[in-house]
Amino acid sequence: MMESAAVQRLRAASPGMAGFRQLPTPNKDGGVWQANGIPAGGWHRRPGQPRGETETLAQAGEADPVRARARRCLRSSLSAAFPWYIERTQMKVSIIGGAGRVGSNAAYALQLVGWAREIALVDVMTEQAEGEALDLRHGASLANSQVFTSGGYDQVAGSDVIVITAGLRRKPDEPRLALVNRNVALFRSILAEIGKVSLPSNAILLIVANPVDILTQIAVKESGFPRERVIGTGTLLDTARFRSFLGEHFGVAQTQVDALILGEHGDSMVPIWSSATINGVPLASFPGYQEQEVRAIFDATKKSGARVIALKGGAGYSIGLVVAHVVNAIAGDTKQVLPVSTLQTGLHGINDVCLSVPTVIGRGGAEALVEMQLAPEEEEALQNSARVLKETFAQLSA
């Protein structure tokens, strides 16, 4: 984003003080210098200014010296203890389809819980994208210091993560795989545009548009990105829905429910009952467990995408959080184990198809796939999911 003329003038007037700005209220030096809301001397000093900050803060008359000290201490101890703290805040994320429901909700989730330094909203609806970016910029002072931009594909240059949300939505009564014919050509044109811009060698593609497993496989085959750096959000949203519903049902913290859905993000998705727990307590031995009831919860999970479409047009907040969750795992190199879609290379005997299994996510992308022990019916259902997706992909190539 271009700096405004005013910022450029201030920068020229204050060499070595990048990030500082001068407030309109003059003090005896002609102005109160401020960075991150803390007047000079609170967190940073002006060149040549004595360390004693109390006077400067009092002159500024608007900063709490205790708060200023606390923020300074927190930041310096964070950067000393966690060198990656500073590094990961340098991440640039582009969202293709950023003016749409999923894209704009993902940007908002990244504003609230993300570590990205810069978020670029790329969309053919340029005015809408500009409006979304402006709205997000308005909230930056209340959330995080981030840069929001919007525009065409030139905005993607230099992105560490490119999130692809552009695509048509399905109708409530339609399976996700029915979107194949409508979204594949659009998806290929987006990959071609991304191929034209300059990106860091470790950039990662995060696919969200549906049918997500099929589009992820197309990206692996056609984008030129290595397979570990192409990730589809896969069944992470289904897993989130499942855990949230189970938590509500048992009256416990949703965040403590550990239950996976694997395979296709679609009709053949597979609930993994055999390892489901509530913070380590097997689901089946949790007070109040009734098999029929939890199976009904899975059915509701499976249908809840269609339900949201029928009620409000499409999912937004939850998939936005899913995007932020994966981006955070990449940015922070946290090695979180997430059910996301990647090209399978032999686990469970499944090859050459993209679907979700537990996957270690870090700065390298999908760093490892985890083969877990499944009950025989779960294993069979996972094989079925692979078969369904392979057949769809074969029809596409035919």
Q: How many residues bind ligand NAD (CB under 6 A)?
A: 31
Q: Please state the closest distance from residue 34 (CB atom) to ligand NAD, in A.
A: 37
Q: Please state the closest distance from residue 69 (CB atom) to ligand NAD, in A.
A: 44
Q: How far apart are CA 208 and CA 163, in angstroms?
A: 7
Q: And the tokens for 176?
A: 């996700």
Contacts of 373 (CB under 8 A, 6+ apart): 274
310 binds ligand NAD (CB under 6 A): no
Q: How many CA atoms lie within 13 A of 33 on its CB side?
A: 20
99 binds ligand NAD (CB under 6 A): yes
350 binds ligand NAD (CB under 6 A): no
Q: How far apart are CA 215 and CA 235, in angstroms?
A: 14
Toward ligand NAD, which CB reaches closer, 56 or 217?
A: 217
Q: Please state the closest distance from residue 150 (CB atom) to ligand NAD, in A.
A: 11
Toward ligand NAD, which CB reaches closer, 208 or 270?
A: 208
Question: Phi, psi at residue 264, to the nearest 5°?
Answer: -80, 140
Q: C-alpha distances in angstroms, 292 versus 69, 206, 295, 299, 310? A: 56, 36, 5, 11, 26
Q: Residue 16: left if φ>0, alpha if ψ -120 to 50, beta else—which one?
A: left
Listed residue (25, 6, 393, 367) closest to 219, CA to CA: 393
Element (H, E) at 342: strand 336-345
Sole binder of ligand NAD in the list 102, 162, 331, 374 (CB under 6 A): 102
Residue ranges in 263-302 that form contacts with ligand NAD under rule CB under 6 A? 265
Q: What is the largest CA-CA distance in the chain?
A: 78
Question: Which residue has its beta carbon closest to ligand NAD?
Answer: 100
Q: Which stretch binds ligand NAD (CB under 6 A): 60-68, 78-86, 95-103, 273-281?
A: 95-103
44 is catalytic: no
Sole binder of ligand NAD in the list 161, 208, 338, 389 (CB under 6 A): 208
123 binds ligand NAD (CB under 6 A): yes
Q: Which stretch binds ligand NAD (CB under 6 A): 1-9, 27-35, 109-117, 206-214?
A: 206-214
Q: Are 114 and 324 in contact (CB under 8 A)?
A: yes
132 binds ligand NAD (CB under 6 A): no
Among the listed residues 44, 265, 325, 348, the single catalytic one is: 265
Which residues have a catalytic role annotated? 265
List residues near ligand NAD by CB under 6 A: 96-97, 99-103, 122-125, 165-170, 183, 186, 189-190, 208-210, 212, 233, 237, 265, 314-315, 319
